[in-house]
Structure 1
Amino acid sequence: MSDSSSASARPEFPAEPGDRDSGAPQSSVPAQSAIQPAVHPAAHPFVYLGRQPILDRNGALSAYELLFRGGPQNRADVFDDALATAQVMTRTMGQLGVPAVLGRHHGYVNMSRELLFDDIVHLLPPERFVLEVLEHVGFDTAVLERLAQLRRAGYRIAFDDVNALTDGLRRALPYADIVKVDLMQTGREALPALAAAIAAEGKTLIAEKVETREDFEYTRELGFDLFQGYFFARPQVLRAPKVRASRLALVRLLALVAGDVGIAELEHELRSHPGVVVQLLRLVNSSAYAPGRPISSLREAVLAAGTRQIARWAQLLLYASGRDLPWSSDPLVQLAGTRSHFMELAARSLAPNDADFADAAFMTGIFSLVHVLVGSTPAHTLERLGLSREISEAVDGQRGELGMLLRVAEAAEQGDDQLAQSLVAQAGGRFEALTPPLLGELNLWASAWFSAYADG
């Protein structure tokens, strides 16, 4: 990989012979308590994502198909289509990040019938993603109406693993933009007529499972537009350190959105769950509705995403979480939550009438440890989150008032009262309000505050 090779996203091992990612069996979405990932989350400290190039007639990269991977082995191991796609979405947008996964190219994402009808599909920006309808989805009236609705919303629709011009496919072709023809399942004698019929309807033709040069040259002669298969490249496996979100926090968040609460209530709930805030910021900065300026408060993140998108994201995380561990079991998350509230309380003590300063202090506390959680550097992590300059400089360099407040918070966490008071004296001005007794009280309040929510 070229523009995304880093410690947080790098190719792993070659695919096993015979791996065919588009042949997953059909299954329905189970109840949340019954969801079982292909590999138990505790088995790997990382999350994995496969991507396979889709090339044009000249051999240039056109797009990637994004594939579920349960571990470093380059195998699909899909037991539930909806769960696999949900994990592909969260890993692409919430952990690895769209720029690292796709660069400037489009991403093809597999869609089961369940996810086609689920509102969370709208988390995928239509200008970056193609919805690839799996081969076992039946083209009944409800599905066709849904496909028409999604196309009106700007999505391109691809049909996967086509091998014959059936009556169902003829009926569905007007609702598709792209048709992927499976060379492994289509006889050579039937291929010319099938390609000609699809091309006559004005659809983009993709030859998939291209295994040899002869396959490529033959399908190109038949007029295929794009090509995918082991002849060009086996799927790469990208990985990122696992970042977990509290399932109870997500349920609470969904309940608040369903109750049509205001921004203030959503902001209050999100403050209790720093892990969800991390995901929200990544979502905002990975999507079409990303703000045109850096984010400097949690309220701005909520406003940028909107309650509808926050609900979709929380629902998607629930789909993808399986039996993941709660945030309360992660000491780094506990520290980030306690620190963020300590800094918010300290900022209010320094400037009681400056709500923006308190918001920025809270955000600084949360993101001061995010680079550790995601296994990256502060500069790289902050660049992907799009935070304001004041917060970025505080986290990466401990500069400015927020940076000094972060240094005081770290000293207080370590119980180093002498260092804390030395920093307060060095800062001077309004920082002198942070007396030793007050710092002790703030530490206790922050710990008690986070512990009240840590059972999520």
Structure 2
Amino acid sequence: MEIYVARQPIFDRESKVYGYELLYRNSETNAFDPSVSDEQATSELLINSYFSFGMEKLIGKGRAFINFNKSLLTQEMPLLLDPRKVVVELLETIEPDEALYEVLIKLKQHHYTLALDDFCVDYKYPRLVHMVDIIKVDFMQNTKQEIRDIYNTMRQSGKVLLAEKIESQEVYEWARDMGFDYFQGYFFSRPSLMKSHAVKYISPQDIAILKEMSAKDPDFKKIALIIEREPITAYKLLKLVNANFTKSYQISSILQALALLGVDTLRKWFTLIMVHKLAKDQPKELIKVSMQRAKFFELLGEKNEFLREKSHDKQAYPLKDKNEMMLVGVLSTMDVILGKPMEEVVKELPLSSNIISTLLMEKESPYLEDYKALLAYEKGDFDKKEVHELAEYDLPEIYFQAVEWSEKMIILS
């Protein structure tokens, strides 16, 4: 399946490319499909840009200007992106409320650059204007006098000014002489269409849940709000509760279900949902391998904690992070699932150096011997040095528990 992204360059006063506005497209016609909602368009744009094209390929060393509607902003979707590479564009149609202002404050605290799109002289939300960094002035919808007034007012407020919809040399020179900082429009370039092949992906909502679950103290209210908009995820969550508690236990809200299961169970479950979605068209056995490895590493980490606690020689049992180890297991089949080298997979993900070095089988990995032992055990090579070195870890029991757990989880996921 082919997917599309259009990009239009934004130039600085020296005619150098500052960045690109990324635009949703769903065909080679290179035009926006009005039947697609703003939320769907931005969600698909983000997925296609990050997972299919790769953001570096689209913007190089520049910045990506990406439109967000009110719904995606209140879900805090921009927080999934690198603030050094992205400019968060607020659609001019947004009607702000206190919830939105709180999100914008949070984005500013995290050093995101905010831009207000298609600004016109009659814009009626001064508080929102005050919060943004860049004003994109619409040169088609404002008169010359209105543009001068906007420029003078916003320049006094310290705003960066971008002249958009520039369609002639004359208008460009006029805007440049006035003092605008950046320029965009058909005069420079029409949006250029880029085409690639779709890869399997999870939704921005799933990524948001996983990101929240990775926090030290996850916000269950925020997670519940996202799940309530995802019926299939909500259904699977209730199935998980049913599997862990008696049927007489009545659930009255998603928040209650989350609280019942607890952080550790939810972390495991959401991570496995991600693998399941990515491997949708793959043999079920491949998903099972990911789950087995994840559980194997988690149990191995727990056993290491137990042996270290008992031993007087702590150096014999160096500290190992069982959560890191579990994620190694989860991601260990991603190269096969995504159909790309593991070097490319880890480059696209915000992983710790320990996880990356293990997945790439690098000698500096603190878990390399554990990973080699697992691979040997899966092949039945029980005489391997790595397996013998873990003799006191009771690998047969750990492996059996991992297989049993994966069988159960593959049904629930």
Does residue 344 of structure 2 align to residue 374 of structure 1? no
**1:347–1:361 contact (8 Å) kept in structure 2:** yes
- Counterpart of 1:383 (choices 334, 343, 347) is 347
Alpha-carbon distance between aligned partners in 2 of 1:370 and 1:95, rounded to the nearest angstrom: 15
Residue 226 of structure 1: how far off its partner (Å): 0.4
Distance in 2, matches of 1:144 and 1:360, equals 34
The separation in 1 between residues aligned to 2:259 and 2:395, in whole angstroms, is 43
Shift of 1:329: 3.6
Partner-residue secondary structure (3-state), 1:330: coil
Distance 1:374 1:92 in 2: 16
Paired residue for 2:219? Answer: none
Structure 1 residues 369-407: Cα deviation after superposition (integer angstroms, max 9, x where no partner):
212333432112223335456654554359742443453
Q: Which blocks of at least 5 consecutive residues in structure 1 are unaligned?
A: 1-43, 277-325, 413-419
Please list, as runs of the form range in 1=range in 2, the aligned pairs for 1:28-47 lying within 5 A after superposition.
44=1
How far is 1:76 from its partner?
2.5
Task: Determine the C-alpha separation between the residues in 2 that align with 1:89 and 1:257.
Answer: 30
How far is 1:169 from its partner? 6.4
| Identity, % of aligned positions | 23
Residue by residue over 1:227-279, the C-alpha shift from the partner in whole angstroms, topping out at 9 and shown as x without a partner, is 11233332453655232368644773975896396542333323532438xxx
Partner amino acid, structure 2, of 1:429: H
Q: How big is the shift at 1:58? A: 0.6
- Please, which of 133, 154, 160 is the counterpart of residue 117 of structure 2? 160
Q: Which amino acid in 2 is paired with 1:162?
A: F
Amino acid at match of 1:108: F
Relative to the length of structure 2, the TM-score reads 0.65
Instruction: State the alpha-carbon separation in 2 of the partners of residues 340 and 114 from structure 1.
Output: 34
Contact 1:106 1:129 (C-alpha < 8 Å) held by counterparts: yes
Tell me the residue number matched to 2:372.
404
Aligned residue type for 2:268? H
Query: Do 1:256 and 1:266's aligned partners in 2 also have CA atoms closer than 8 Å?
Result: no
Indicate conservation of the 8 Å contact 2:64/2:87, yes or no: yes
The 5-angstrom pairing of residues 103-252 of structure 1 reads 103-124=60-81, 126=83, 128-138=85-95, 149=105, 153=109, 154-163=111-120, 165-166=121-122, 168=124, 173-187=129-143, 191-233=147-189, 234-237=191-194, 239=196, 241-244=199-202, 248-249=232-233, 252=237
CA displacement, residues 292-321 of structure 1 (integer Å, 9 cap, x when unaligned):
xxxxxxxxxxxxxxxxxxxxxxxxxxxxxx
**What amino acid does structure 1 have at the position aligned with 2:327?**
M
Q: Aligned match of 1:337 in 287, 308, 312?
A: 287
Distance 1:346 1:221, change over 3 A: closer
1:77 — aligned with what?
33
Structure 2 counterpart of 1:60: 16
- Give RMSD over aligned pairs: 4.4
Q: 1:148 and 1:274 mapped to 2: Cα distance?
A: 28
CA contact (8 A) 2:20 2:64 kept: yes
Give the direction of change, closer, same or farther, for the CA distance of 1:137–1:405 in structure 2 (3 Å limit).
Answer: same
Whether contact under 8 Å (1:344, 1:358) holds in the other structure is no
> What amino acid is aligned across from residue 372 of structure 1 in structure 2?
V
Contact 2:258 / 2:266 at 8 angstroms: preserved in 1? no
